[in-house]
Amino acid sequence: MRKFLTTLLFFAIPVIFAGVAFEILLRNIPNDYSYKSHFLDKNARNIEVLFLGNSHVYYGIDPKFIQAKNFNASNISQPLDYDLKILEKYQNNWDHLKYVVVPVDYFSLFTKLESGIEAWRVKNYDIYFGMYSDYDPAHYFEIVANQTKYNLERLRKFYFYGQSDLKIDSLGWGTGNHSQNSMNLLESGMVSAKRHRKASEERFLKEQISVLHKMADFCKKRNIKLILFSSPAYKTYVKNLDINQINRNKQILNAFSASDKTVQYYDLLTDSRFDSVDFFDADHLNEIGSKKLSLIFDSIIKSEPKD
């Protein structure tokens, strides 16, 4: 046995060394998650309006159009339970927080990050936000979350050309969806709707509704208003969704906001203020649309009675 363990140790040393070095180098590349985590560590106490949620907020809310001190803490595919985890992580720091704005979209109540094709993103919360999501060790390492080919490309871009993984501005808005590069709205509508229909599973509904309740309780205890909304989307996306699930979502959210005075719900899914020029693809806004949506929320917040 001793011979076996010695041989194994000698054989494994270079492999372990290479793995550790690779992991450290990858973690040193600045990315959206590390930036947002550091920002909240330093500035959570000053924030008045916090935007959470998925890519619809990540690309759709540009904080510079909102007067109050605010931050866009959303991330691509960030589900409701991770929104709650971010709120809870900084629970002792929200000294000035008055509004939490969270999208509840077609798929929000019917998906979980860990179960879908975006499960690889869980590691970002564990590594950069210091959360403890589950027992899967793969969720705590950069090297196993993505294809090594992709990770090598990240290393090359950062260490040879200085290009980091940051795709946001200083207040957390995703700058990648520019109107000049807009996608075909007909095709993207069909593709995204199909993907979101396929990803939706009934088994997550109960758990995500319970997350909404926890979020509402969290906000109520701290005198924070919770604003929920359905993100605007183009008609080619909406018409390809399951109408029953859309109606069910509306019903749940209307009932939820009606039963709790501290919660407001805005249904912007088919809002007529948004037109084709506002969309990068059928369910994401470009910089024109994000300005529009940000100003809508600015006016909602301004219209709120001051305490």
Partner 1 sequence: MLFNSLSFAVFLPIVFFLYWFMPTKTRAKQNLLLLASSYFFYGCWDCRFLFLLIFSTLLDYYTGLKIESATSQNTRKFWFWLSISVNLGFLGIFKYYNFFATSLAEMLSGIGLQVNPWTLKVILPVGISFYTFHGLSYVIDIYKKRISAEKNFVDYSLFVSFFPLLVAGPIERATHLLPQIKRNRQFNYIHAIDGLRQILWGLFKKIVIADQCADLANTIFNDTTSYNGSTLCLGAVLFAFQIYGDFSGYSDIALGTARLFGIDLLRNFAYPYFSRDIAEFWRRWHISLSTWFRDYLYIPLGGSKGGTWLKIRNTFIIFLVSGFWHGANWTFIIWGLLHALYIMPSIIFNTNRKNLATVAERKILPSVKDLVSMILTFSLVVFAWIFFRAESLAHAMQYISGIFSESLFRMPQKQPKVLVALIIFFLIVEWIGRTQQYALASFGIKWPRLLRWTFYYCLIAAIFYFTGPEKQFIYFQF
Asked if residue 243 binds partner 1 (CB under 8 A), the reply is no
Segment interacting with partner 1, rule: CB under 8 A, options 9-17, 59-67, 75-83, 92-100: 9-17
Q: Write down how long the chain is.
A: 307
The mark string for 175-204 relative to partner 1 (x by CB under 8 A, - otherwise) is: ------------------------------
Contacting partner 1 within 250-289 (CB under 8 A): none
Count the site residues for partner 1 by CB under 8 A: 22
> Least distance in Å: CB of 22 to partner 1?
9
For partner 1, which is the closer residue by CB, 17 or 302?
A: 17
- Residues 153 and 159: their CA atoms lie apart, in Å, by 10
Given candidates 7, 67, 163, 259, which one binds partner 1 under the rule CB under 8 A? 7
* Torsion sign across C-alpha atoms 216, 252, 81, 99: negative
Nearer to partner 1, 23 or 165 (CB): 23
Output the smallest distance, CB 148 to partner 1, in A: 5
Per the CB < 8 A criterion, the answer to whether 50 and 73 are in contact is yes
Cα–Cα distance for residue pair 76/15, rounded to 1 Å: 33
Question: Pattern 131-150, binding to partner 1, x per CB under 8 A?
Answer: -----xxx--x--xxxxxxx
CB of 167 to partner 1, least distance (A): 21
Cα–Cα dist 136/75, whole Å: 21
What letter does residue 166 receive in the DSSP assignment?
A: -
Question: Distance between CA atoms of 185 and 4, rounded to whole angstroms?
Answer: 61
**C-alpha dihedral (93, 227, 112, 166), degrees to nearest 10:** -60
Binders of partner 1 in range 96-125 (CB under 8 A): 119-120
Which tokens go with 233?
């989307």
Q: How far is residue 252's CA from residue 272's CA, in Å, rounded to a whole number? A: 23
Q: How far is the CB of 137 from partner 1 (least distance, A)?
A: 5
- Residue 14 interacts with partner 1 (CB under 8 A)? yes
Which C-beta is closer to partner 1: that of 145 or that of 296?
145
Query: Binders of partner 1 among 148-167, rule CB under 8 A?
Result: 148-150, 152
Q: What is the CA radius of gyration of the chain?
A: 21
**Residue 8 Cβ, how far from partner 1 at the closest point, in Å?**
8
Q: CB-based burial of residue 249 (10 Å sphere; 0-12 exposed, 13-18 middle, 19+ buried)?
A: buried
Give the residue with the Cβ less far from partner 1, 15 or 243.
15
* Residue 227 main-chain phi, psi, to 5 deg: -110, 115
Q: Specify the residue, 1 or 243, whose C-beta has the smaller distance to partner 1.
A: 1
- Hey, what long-range contacts does 203-207 have (CB within 8 A, 24 or more apart)? 204/109, 204/110, 204/111, 204/112, 204/115, 205/109, 205/110, 207/81, 207/112
Binding to partner 1 by CB under 8 A, coded x per residue (else -) over 52-91, reads: ----------------------------------------
CB nearer to partner 1: pick between 8 and 277: 8
Residue 278 beta carbon to partner 1: minimum distance, rounded to whole angstroms: 32
Measure the CA–CA gap between 258 and 141, rounded to whole angstroms.
43
Contact set with partner 1 (CB under 8 A): 1, 3-4, 7-8, 11, 14-15, 119-120, 136-138, 141, 144-150, 152
